[in-house]
């Protein structure tokens, strides 16, 4: 959402210090080649909270872009009860458990969260760890 608003905001956003405009371009390319992005209310809530870690006018601009993206996006609802029945819930929390439950329906989960990646892999889901992609960048050093 930050990069969609303004690529220059990525380097200025407090919660994106591990990422840059090149990461945004790579992820945008992955999304462009996919059949689309599916959101959940849980992910959107967390995203909304995280993008607000900047001051205005950036915050207002980013929130406006997020509202526009969500207005035309596919959103699926996984009940908290269903997500909490997953054995990973106690270790990963609600949002990640929702993503795992959603992964049961197919598609590919893209994450930079190692624990979520390993849980999805262990469950046999299609999952991509963005950090593996980032690690292939010639300018990236751990």
- Look at residue 118 and tell me whether its pLDDT is greater than 90: yes
> Can you give the pTM of this predicted structure?
0.91
With 0-12 CB in 10 A as exposed, 13-18 as middle and 19+ as buried, what is 17?
A: exposed
Distances in whole angstroms, Cα of residue 106 to Cα of each of 8, 31, 132, 140: 34, 16, 21, 31
**Domain residue extents for the chain:** 1-77, 78-142
pLDDT at 142: 60
Whether 21 contacts 35, CB under 8 Å: no
- What per-residue confidence (pLDDT) applies to 138? 84
Output the CA angle 62-66-69, nearest 5 degrees: 140
Token duo for residue 121: 């892999």
Nearest to 101, CA basis, from 128, 80, 129:
80
95-110 tens-digit pLDDT: 999 999 999 998 899 9
């Amino acid at each position: 959402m930050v990069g969609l608003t303004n690529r220059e905001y990525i380097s200025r956003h407090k919660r994106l210090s591990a990422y840059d405009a090149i990461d945004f371009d790579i992820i945008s390319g992955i999304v462009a080649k996919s059949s689309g992005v599916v959101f959940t209310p849980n992910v959107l809530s967390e995203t909304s909270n995280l993008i607000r870690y900047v001051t205005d006018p950036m915050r207002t601009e980013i929130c406006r872009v997020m509202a526009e993206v969500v207005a035309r996006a596919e959103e699926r609802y996984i009940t908290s009860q269903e997500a909490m029945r997953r054995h990973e819930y106690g270790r990963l929390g609600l949002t990640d458990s929702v993503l795992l439950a959603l992964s049961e329906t197919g598609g590919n989960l893209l994450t930079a969260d190692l624990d979520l990646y390993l849980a999805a892999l262990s469950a046999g889901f299609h999952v991509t760890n963005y950090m593996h992609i980032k690690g292939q960048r010639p300018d990236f050093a751990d």
